[in-house]
Amino acid sequence: MKRRDFLSSAITVTAASSFPVGLGLAADLQAVAPKGDKVTISEGMVSDLQKSIKGDVVLPDSEQYEAARKIWNASFDKRPSMIVQCADSNDVVSAVQFARTNNVLMAVRCGGHSYSGQSTTNGGLVIDLSRMQNAEVDANARTCRIQGGALLGNLDRAAAEYGLATTAGFVSHTGVGGLATGGGHGRLMKKFGLTLDNNLGVEMVTADGRLVKANADENADLYWAVRGGGGNFGIVTQFEFQLYQMDPMVTSFAYTFPIEAAPDVMKFYFEWDAEQPDETASSLGLRRNAQGEAAVAIGGTYIGTPDQAEKALGKLVTFGKPIIGRITSANYVTMQAAADRIYAHGRYYYSKSGFFDRVDAKLPEVMLEYFMKHPTAKAGISAASHGGAAGRVPMDATAYAHRDAKYQISISVDWDKSEDGPGWLKYARDYWSVMEPLSDGGFYVNTTDDDRENTIRKNYRGNYERLVDIKTAWDPDNAFRLNANIPPRRKA
């Protein structure tokens, strides 16, 4: 037997054995097209796809299906027609080509950490990159090449082995892909810029199923767009990030005050934070404990020693009468995973947030008033400080348009039972309806659930028309539409 025939035979056996017995190899597959109509995919096409990839095709009758279809946010209990678990970039190429050939709606999952559930779909095809997590650090160049399915923890740990770091969110089981294409907030962003500011280039699969490079010298328009334009332009299978020398130990600080002191604490925070150096990443939070007791807290991270932090934090150290006040040394990578338990997989989450380029006099009062309307630990509001290096980048240097933002303010709710969802959604949306007029109208594309075109247009400001041009050039049929979508121009 020829080697090619042997390999073909072996792959066929492997592919057949991976399909569920209950489905049967003679069964066609029912799926959903991008515009919502039904399509039928022949068993032969599915079998050919499995033969062509190193990863796995998971179908609804498979034993692996239930685990494979779940994402971080339990609010989205969707059932895709098939899940392609990719092992490498070539698998992603095959999956995209399959979806386009068969006119199937595509969702792309990296970490599956989507607040709005856009990393899955009912009836469509999920292209799952979660097996693609390899990271390679060049210590001399201070760069890291990391696959598109990696999590932030993969990036943090790989860099830390060489005494390096870059901006990488707040929860270590978040996917690099969504974070780096949508923005990339994090503890280090005032010092080193957003995650996308440290993106030196990508390899990605385009809507026509090609693997291309995009960087400052090659496909520069695409490189510009994927730094803030989200998943609109293709599937990033590899990033290259700039890293920075950083001591593995940083300083954590937290000061918690009784809720009665909230008006004074909030006024103090917004004045104090405006004077903080780039090394300080801070936030103000209103939250309740498990017993429903409310408090207001100022906390964050300082890049430096506790002694240096105490000096930089200045007036915060002696302000008011905190219930708890601490400044402690902390391992950066450990700190990056500290909130993982709070944002555990399988719970119900919702968030409304926006950017604020100034602090309106009414803002603290509104934040406090609506927070106090819900007496449980399931709701909270936070104001995260922006600026620093992230704010010194010109608005049109990347697709991300919020360089003048002083804060991102977020209303977050979570719950344990599906039936409680409507009440929590109403609370968050009502709260945001009075907060939004005080914002600059922009939002973080990684957390929005509003994909109306006029809203997206407003969010991207002067960058929107250029994004539409690039979308039209690279994805004229809007194959990548499950995102904060930028529709291509209509064909004449």
pLDDT digits (tens, 9 = 90+) for 11-54: 333 333 333 333 334 489 999 999 999 999 999 999 999 999 99
Pair (326, 195) in one structural domain: no
Give me the CATH number covering residue 239: 3.30.465.10
Give me the CATH number covering residue 364: 3.40.462.20
Looking at the domain assignment, is residue 489 inside a domain? no
289: tokens are 């404990």
Averaged pLDDT for residues 378-405: 97
254: tokens are 């937290």
Q: Which of 27-31, 190-194, 321-325 is least confident?
A: 27-31
Residues 326/254, Cβ–Cβ less than 8 Å: yes
pLDDT in tens, 109-133: 999 999 999 999 999 999 999 999 9
Averaged pLDDT for residues 473-490: 97
Question: With 60 as the cut, is the pLDDT of residue 273 above it?
Answer: yes
Pair (141, 290) in one structural domain: no
At residue 450, the pLDDT reads 74
The torsion angle over the Cα atoms of residues 152, 156, 157 and 163, rounded to 10 degrees, is: 170
Q: What crossing angle do the helices spanning 89-101 and 43-52 adopt, rounded to 10°? A: 160
Pair (303, 385) in one structural domain: yes
Cβ partners under 8 Å of residue 257, min gap 6: 265, 295, 296, 297, 320, 321, 322, 323
Q: Which of 48-52, 111-115, 362-366, 445-449 is least confident?
A: 445-449
Pair (232, 284) in one structural domain: no
- The mean pLDDT of the chain is 93
Residues 116/107, Cβ–Cβ less than 8 Å: no
Domain count, the chain: 3
CA R_g for the chain: 23
pTM confidence score: 0.93
- Measuring CA to CA, which residue among 289, 290, 411 is closest to residue 350? 411
Pair (12, 123) in one structural domain: yes
314: tokens are 């200045």
CA dihedral over 473, 475, 476, 480, signed as positive or negative: negative
Give the confidence band of 290 by pLDDT, cuts at 50, 70, 90: confident
At residue 342, the pLDDT reads 93
Pair (292, 402) in one structural domain: yes
- Domain extent at residue 170: 135-246+453-474
Total count of residues recorded for the chain: 492
String of DSSP letters for 25-81: TT--EEEE-TTS-EEEE-HHHHHHHHHH-SSEEE-TTSTTHHHHH--SBTT-----S
Pair (339, 399) in one structural domain: yes
